[in-house]
Structure 1
Amino acid sequence: MSASEPRDNFGSGGAEPAADLAELLDLAVTVAQEGAAIARDPGRDLDVSTKSNRNDLVTVADRLVEQHIAARLEAATGYPLLGEEGHTIDTWDGRVWVLDPIDGTLNYVETRRDYAVSLALCENGTPVLAVVIDVVADLCYTAVRGGGARCNGRPLPVAADRALAEAVIITDVKELQALPRLARCVEDSRGHRRYGSAALECVAVATGQAGAFLHLRLSPWDVAAAALICTECGIRVTRLDGVPLDLRWPGSVLAAPPRLHDELVHRLVVAPY
């Protein structure tokens, strides 16, 4: 059975695409909220371990959330799922779920805040629906491609554009060290912040709480859902050099409203030293 041949009525038969996505969004919100509940209370010790480095953590809760959501979505839709904690796919053709069970695991372990469940549905590599749950704040951000974005069911407006001098930039120390031009941009801005969850950091740009987000390397599960929420709020999401974002591959991410986005690309890439 291929990714485009679901085992139930989602995407098959006579359902209109819009209604199909609306039903799938309801399902995605439900299972993401179930995952958030597991994260709040996994019912056992976290058993924290490391992956690529000492700050790249994984816990029992990450795995429990992914296992639960993957099983629920498999049973309901039959679409394959790409997840940070072990679920892989053979192809991006058709519909694919993309999941970060706990985005911000270091925060989850150390500060107990600023972590999220991030779930997107992609069609041929393009996000068509998204759910990002800020677990501690109890905020559920959703989006459907072409249908706008919402927070706890309330429509989100198009984000205001702004000049660099009026913007807070969300980025990390390693980006500032690697990109001297970015450090100079931060000097000319209102400053920089880092919250430790790429999904929530992108959402902060979508909701106008920050002017721009920049990261040198993110995986599909880090940004798939948040990228759609940003796009539906009028945020431009690209690679660092302004090239369109292809979520099927890891790489840099720059998210900002159009005017600020263009200014950052010019200063970071185009302008002579």
Structure 2
Amino acid sequence: MNDVGGSYTVCHDVAVPPSYALVGIQTNAGCNHGTSYTVAPASPGMRICNLSQTVGGAPYQMPFPDGYIVQTIQEVQPQQSQCGGATAIYIIQPVAEGTTACSGTQIPTGWSYTASSPSPGSCGTFERIELHQSVAGMRICSQSPYPNGFVVGAVESMAACGLQERYVLQPTSDGVKACGPTHVPAGYVITNTNQSGQCGSYQTLTLRAAYDGVVVCPASPIPDRYVIQSAVPYNGCENFTTANQLKYIP
């Protein structure tokens, strides 16, 4: 087991601080299902169990520490495992500009990945990704997360992401043009769709901050406190001849 200060042992249903990581799994008849978990404050280079909330998955998940990523996956023999016989151990590091991590790792809020490539040995069967803080104009891999304050402003095909497309991030604003795969930010609606070169094979969407009486395309999300008041003739939504007029409910 990791020799780390501040560690303690809990059953799976006990809340653990978000800055802690799972460093040991052992048999314990005093816990439901006969297993207990040792947790400790996260630190650079710590070896943690893959039951954590990251690549893989498990019936009972412990928190993955905020601000950290899985940099390496290490294979160990079952008899040498600190994690109840599990043979994959994760080595974590604090996220930093340009750092690389194993794909599937938890990615801290405000960060995206811009490249993905095979990683023989260091990440097991997972690819290695390159992390950067999300900013306007950044080109990210299509499977990367991005913050709520951005939309996909363009779609490109780039070798840096393997078989993935690359998305160009653009800040959210009233009237912004976004591509079909984008997340529509909370409180925004789709008021126009068409085909344009910036989005490749995807539709280009016009996003507006919702207001009482706004006319939205059939595929638009309906924000909280809005309802569809009526269907109206409308030629601004590709492949449709009608759209929905919304009413705000105070």
Shorter-chain TM-score: which interval?
Answer: under 0.3
Q: Which has the higher contact order (CA 8 A, sep 6+)?
A: 1
Choose between structure 1 and 2: higher strand proportion: 2
**TM-score scaled by length of structure 2:** 0.26
**TM-score scaled by length of structure 1:** 0.25
Choose between structure 1 and 2: higher helix proportion: 1
Larger radius of gyration: 2
